[in-house]
């Protein structure tokens, strides 16, 4: 009996309306990623787990390794990072390749804005970001700078604060993170952060 026939046997009269969509299937053993990151990894603000679809493969692999090695998410004050860190601990190198392939195959809507700020001021601030993340904030794979338009705005705010406050990118061996630590210095207040994020929202 095929899986579908078997399910029909189980699923009574609803077989008639039984349809199959074509979203990226979740690989076996990775279902739990979607418990936090949501359907098609669209993100869930209640868990502080960001959208992952739309990020590039190199960046994703680097983050998963950073979590696994304790380069990210190990700071005692990094509540969200330390929620994620153990989730990477069981992934082998080969698994990570597999995981990244799946993440980049997912499709989910670009997150709706939730942060308000002065986007005009943000535009000025963003000029320093554009060098690496691109004028449209779509990221630059060569430089290792991820897309910012792919992300939930609350998560971007959070990460900028973490770079600034020494919760992310602090370790000397974290060369990519260190770039961002330096770059985050341009933002001198939480208001600056909100403003730049408000501007990024206009690019979505």
Contact with ligand HEC (CB under 6 A): which of 117, 152, 160, 195? Answer: 160
Choose between 13 and 46: whose C-beta lies nearer to ligand HEC. Answer: 46
Distance in Å, CB of 115 to other proteins, minimum: 16
Contact with ligand HEC (CB under 6 A): which of 9, 11, 35, 141? Answer: 35
Coil, strand or helix at 78: coil
φ, ψ dihedrals at 165, nearest 5°: -90, 5
Per CB under 6 A, the segment of 6-14, 16-24, 56-64, 111-119 that binds ligand HEC is 56-64
155 Cβ contact list (under 8 Å, min separation 6): 43, 48, 50, 51
Told to check if 82 binds other proteins by CB under 8 A, we report yes
β-partners of residue 145 are 140
Told to check if 105 binds ligand HEC by CB under 6 A, we report no
Helices 175-184 and 153-165, interaxial angle, to 10°? 90
- Rounded CA separation 197/203 (Å): 10
Question: What residues between 4 and 23 interact with ligand HEC by CB under 6 A?
Answer: none
Partner touching 189 among ligand HEC, other proteins, none, CB below 5 to 8 Å by kind: none
Told to check if 70 binds other proteins by CB under 8 A, we report no
Per CB under 6 A, the segment of 1-9, 10-18, 112-120, 175-183 that binds ligand HEC is 175-183
* Torsional sign, CA 47, 20, 112, 181: positive
* Nearest CA-CA partner of 96 in 27, 11, 20: 27
Q: How far apart, in Å, are the Cα atoms of 132 and each of 51, 128, 142? A: 21, 8, 9
Q: Which residue matches tokens 């029909």? A: 8
Q: Which residue matches tokens 């960046």? A: 59
> Which residues of this chain interact with ligand HEC, rule CB under 6 A?
30, 32-33, 35-37, 47-50, 52, 55, 60, 62-64, 80-81, 83-84, 87, 99, 128-129, 131-133, 143-146, 148, 151, 156, 158-160, 169, 176-177, 179-180, 183, 186-187, 196
> Which residues of this chain interact with other proteins, rule CB under 8 A?
3, 7, 10-14, 17-23, 25-28, 31-32, 34-40, 42-47, 49, 76, 79, 82, 86-90
């Amino acid at each position: 009996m095929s899986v579908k026939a078997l399910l029909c046997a189980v699923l009574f009269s609803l077989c008639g309306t039984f349809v199959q969509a074509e979203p990226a299937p979740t690989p076996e053993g990775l279902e739990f990623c979607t418990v936090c990151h949501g359907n098609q990894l669209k993100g869930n603000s209640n868990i502080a787990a960001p959208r992952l679809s739309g990020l590039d493969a190199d960046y994703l692999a680097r983050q998963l390794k950073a979590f696994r090695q304790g380069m990210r998410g190990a700071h005692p004050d990094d509540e969200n990072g330390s929620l994620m860190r153990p989730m990477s601990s069981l992934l082998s190198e080969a698994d990570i390749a597999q995981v990244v392939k799946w993440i980049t195959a997912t499709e989910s809507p670009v997150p709706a804005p939730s942060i308000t700020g002065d986007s005009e001021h943000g535009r000025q601030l963003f000029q320093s970001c554009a060098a690496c993340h691109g004028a449209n904030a779509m990221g630059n794979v060569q430089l290792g700078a991820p897309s910012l338009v792919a992300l939930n705005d609350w998560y971007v705010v959070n990460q900028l604060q973490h770079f600034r406050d020494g919760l992310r990118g602090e370790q000397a061996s974290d060369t990519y993170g260190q770039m961002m630590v330096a770059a985050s210095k341009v933002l001198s207040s939480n208001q600056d952060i909100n403003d730049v994020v408000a501007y990024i929202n206009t690019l979505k």
